[in-house]
Amino acid sequence: MTKVAFGKIDYPFTKTNLVKVLDEGKSKNEANVSDEMIANWCYEFYLAYNEYDDAQGDLFPAELAKKVALDVSSQWEADVGNTNGRVLTSDQYAMWIDELGVNNA
């Protein structure tokens, strides 16, 4: 599959989709989107998420979802300025999924 480097992830801002986006990043070589697109979606999630509009609102706490989304976005911002050109790793995505308490094997 071809990884899309530019554009926007067009998923509604739900907890289920947060996990789906993080899992996409964890897939790395098989991922269809770039780390930057994931970070941008996570930042938009952080700003726009409303637990009352989310049918899966009880999946994990809203505060945790927003914290993880902001962590992803912040880590991308920190890494993009890194002179070594480091990008987000599969292990980082796995850690964020684990933090949400979701078994996404």
pLDDT tens, residue by residue, 38-89: 999 999 999 999 877 777 667 888 899 999 999 999 999 888 776 455 678 8
77-86 LR contacts (CB < 8 Å, sep 24+): 77/39, 80/36
Cα gap 35→58, rounded to integer Å:
27
The domain in which residue 51 lies consists of 15-100
Number of structural domains in the chain: 1
Within-domain flag for 1: no
For the packed helices 62-80 and 15-26, what is the interaxial angle rounded to 10 degrees? 30
- Give 33's DSSP letter: B
Within-domain flag for 30: yes
Q: Which two tokens stand for residue 47?
A: 């700003």
What per-residue confidence (pLDDT) applies to 2? 39
Within-domain flag for 2: no
- Alpha-carbon torsion 98, 72, 28, 7, what sign? positive
Within-domain flag for 7: no
Is this model's pTM higher than 0.85 or not? no
Under 8 Å between Cβ of 20 and 11: yes
Phi-psi region of 95 (alpha: psi -120 to 50; beta: other; left: phi over 0): alpha
Statement: residue 5 has pLDDT above 60: no
